[in-house]
Amino acid sequence: MSNKYSRSFIINRVSIFILTITLFTQKSFGQQSWQQNTRLNQIGFYPNAPKTAVVLTGKDTVFYIQIINGKTVFTGNLKKSVKPDFVGNTTAIADFTNYSKPGKYIMIVPDVGVSYPFEIKNSVLKEVANASIKAYYFMRASIPLEEKYAGKWARAGGHPDTVVLIHPSAATDKRPAWTTISSPRGWYDAGDYNKYIVNSGISTSTLLSLYEDFPAYMKTVKLNIPESGNNIPDILNEVLWNLRWMLTMQDPGDGGVYHKLTNAIFDKFEMPDKAAEPRFVVQKGTAATLDFAAVMAQCSRIFRKFPKELPGLADSCLNDANKAWDWAAKNPDVAYNQDAMNKKFSPPITTGAYGDNNFTDEFIWAASELFVTTKDPQYLKGINLLPDNRMPIPSWNQVKLLGYYTLLKNTDSFGKNAPGELPELKKRLLDLADSLVKGADETAYQTVMDKSKRNFNWGSNSVAANEGVALIQAYKLSNDPKYLRCALDNLDYILGRNGTGYSYVTGYGSKTPMHPHHRPSVSDGVVDPVPGLLVGGPNPGMQDHIKVPSTVPDEAYIDDDRAYAANEIAINWNAPFAYLANAIEALQNKLKTVN
């Protein structure tokens, strides 16, 4: 070692020592701001995959990766972001991809900040990925959550839903108003205790697609739920809880599907077993019926592989999917318009509307699932697969791409019935992925998500997750690792590399939501919220009238249990997050940039 080298080495070590002392003595009064200046995935990184942190500084300085309470193992130079954030400030990017040794670390930027601790190891996101699916167990209606599965979040069962009233809007001769049906099980939708078919549709399907896309990996995911060990993969066991409820939402008289099972007004903030408001099924609608058809068609092909464990289920799912499809063909334009319904029928229903009045995308999705399951080209007859050139990232009211994903990953099985539009569909999906990827590396947080302020609306975190899912689909079609890496960037966004410095998943990360708008988390007397739940995230809309600290798009977030427009949780947000986190775990070896 030359003298010069050893001198700078010693100075370097001393300055890091002083900085570490300063940082730790600041802990009690200044920790937050030190750590707020560095934004990274608060859980960690795969050894040979990209590793990026973002530093809120205009300075051109160095950064160090240090073993917790140990030596510096990596020194790098910060690089200014090409574009500014939504406020107008550039950030500084710390790229430590080339450091790959497993361990527990912090990042230090002299005079600027120190990061939360993070880990480098294989399968580093396994626990959070598991938790994102286990979250559905915690959302179960009609069953007590036992301590051996739920730990400190054990609770009594709520909403048995064995006596559910037919709302006057849903009355038929065979099922008159105020008679009752039984419609137990299912997942609560969100912070509220209602069960909505439209939102259940996309959520259930996204989890089923996770299984279909990564069957070998998903068989290894053990969730410790009551059905575990029954020879059915746990993700499917969990889906079955909701599927069995969805099946009860179809009117056997005509095949139409009730839009939702709901109270007239939202329950109070109380535990599920305390809630005693009457429950109704309300008006049937085209969106609910087609979403039901799509999910049941998908279920049919998946559960057909479990004839011993689930005898007859695949057939009845397909049968019910067909009945729903026929109803929708006869009733192609029945919107759920809650205001209009309330003018005609009583009691008025004021819970979540999930109203939609364009069903082009629902027809495409249901037809695609039915075609893929049956290979019968009749379903696609009369369906224009390319009604326009828009490629909206999926959400509860935009499901066209769910149909495209399904068609594109099953092309090998179509034979002579392959739809002529397939090459164009593939091109559009890859073009979409290219448009997402383009310029992501120029942004302040190095993510697809912070390319556009339009991403920051109600449930913005699900936009980040659903962009990730679209990128994984593109990766599966093309094998191009750039899509996979950008999907990982959006996962890093969710887990801390973002405009607020929150890891938006309850219980996973150092700075996480403690007060989600989620009735059990607020009412159970347990300090920690129910784990594994993705909150909605930044949304300057403030539809809940709770003032967020900043209306800058990616900062418009508050950890307040009244803030349902920014801090609620929901099954349709957790599902793409579960898809993304588990897909990245399954594909971690494909993220390699270092050998």
* Position of minimal CB gap to ligand 9MR: 352
DSSP state of 394: P
- 190 binding ligand 9MR? (CB under 6 A): yes
- The answer to whether 102 and 26 are in contact (CB under 8 A) is no
- Closest distance of CB 304 from ligand 9MR, Å: 32
- 492 binding ligand 9MR? (CB under 6 A): no
Task: Give CA angle at 125 (121, 128), nearest 5°.
Answer: 145
**In this complex, which beta carbon is closest to ligand 9MR, that of residue 46 or of residue 458?**
458
What is the rounded distance in angstroms from the CA atom of residue 140 to the CA atom of residue 150? 11
**In this complex, which beta carbon is closest to ligand 9MR, that of residue 294 or of residue 570?**
570
DSSP 156-179: ------SSEEE-GGG--SSS-TT-
Give me the 213-252 binding string for ligand 9MR, x by CB under 6 A, dash otherwise.
----------------------------------------
**In this complex, which beta carbon is closest to ligand 9MR, that of residue 64 or of residue 573?**
573
Backbone angles phi, psi at 455, to 5 degrees: -70, -15
Taking CB under 6 A as the binding criterion, the range among 109-117, 186-194, 217-225, 320-328 that sits at the site for ligand 9MR is 186-194
- 531 binding ligand 9MR? (CB under 6 A): no
- 189 binding ligand 9MR? (CB under 6 A): yes
**In this complex, which beta carbon is closest to ligand 9MR, that of residue 471 or of residue 570?**
570
What is the rounded distance in angstroms from the CA atom of residue 188 to the CA atom of residue 242? 9
- Closest distance of CB 339 from ligand 9MR, Å: 12
Run of H or E residues at 260: strand 260-262
Task: Give CA angle at 468 (467, 471), nearest 5°.
Answer: 90
- 513 binding ligand 9MR? (CB under 6 A): no
Number of chain residues interacting with ligand 9MR (CB under 6 A): 11
What is the rounded distance in angstroms from the CA atom of residue 541 to the CA atom of residue 557? 10
- The answer to whether 352 and 458 are in contact (CB under 8 A) is no
- Closest distance of CB 396 from ligand 9MR, Å: 6
Give me the 329-368 binding string for ligand 9MR, x by CB under 6 A, dash otherwise.
-----------------------xxx--------------
**In this complex, which beta carbon is closest to ligand 9MR, that of residue 198 or of residue 218?**
198
- 561 binding ligand 9MR? (CB under 6 A): no
- Closest distance of CB 352 from ligand 9MR, Å: 2
Backbone angles phi, psi at 569, to 5 degrees: -120, 160
The residue among 52, 47, 53 whose CA lies nearest residue 102 is 47
**In this complex, which beta carbon is closest to ligand 9MR, that of residue 336 or of residue 508?**
336
What is the rounded distance in angstroms from the CA atom of residue 75 to the CA atom of residue 323? 63
- The answer to whether 554 and 184 are in contact (CB under 8 A) is no
**In this complex, which beta carbon is closest to ligand 9MR, that of residue 436 or of residue 570?**
570
What is the rounded distance in angstroms from the CA atom of residue 539 to the CA atom of residue 39? 19
Run of H or E residues at 342: helix 338-344
Evaluate the CA torsion angle 488, 494, 500, 505 in order and state its sign. negative
- Closest distance of CB 533 from ligand 9MR, Å: 12
Instruction: Report the residue from 245, 379, 564, 579 that binds ligand 9MR according to the rule CB under 6 A.
Output: 564
- The answer to whether 535 and 461 are in contact (CB under 8 A) is yes
Helix (H, G, I), strand (E, B) or coil at 188: coil
- 568 binding ligand 9MR? (CB under 6 A): yes
Give me the 423-462 binding string for ligand 9MR, x by CB under 6 A, dash otherwise.
-----------------------------------xx---
DSSP 89-142: ---EEEE-TT----EEEEEEETTTEEPPPEEE-TTTTHHHHHHHHHHHHHTBSS
- Closest distance of CB 571 from ligand 9MR, Å: 9
Instruction: Report the residue from 85, 192, 254, 267 that binds ligand 9MR according to the rule CB under 6 A.
Output: 192
Taking CB under 6 A as the binding criterion, the range among 158-166, 185-193, 206-214, 255-263 that sits at the site for ligand 9MR is 185-193
The identity of residue 518, as a single letter, is H
Catalytic residues: 192, 517, 559, 568
User: Residue numbers of the site for ligand 9MR (CB under 6 A)?
Assistant: 189-190, 192, 352-354, 458-459, 564, 568, 570
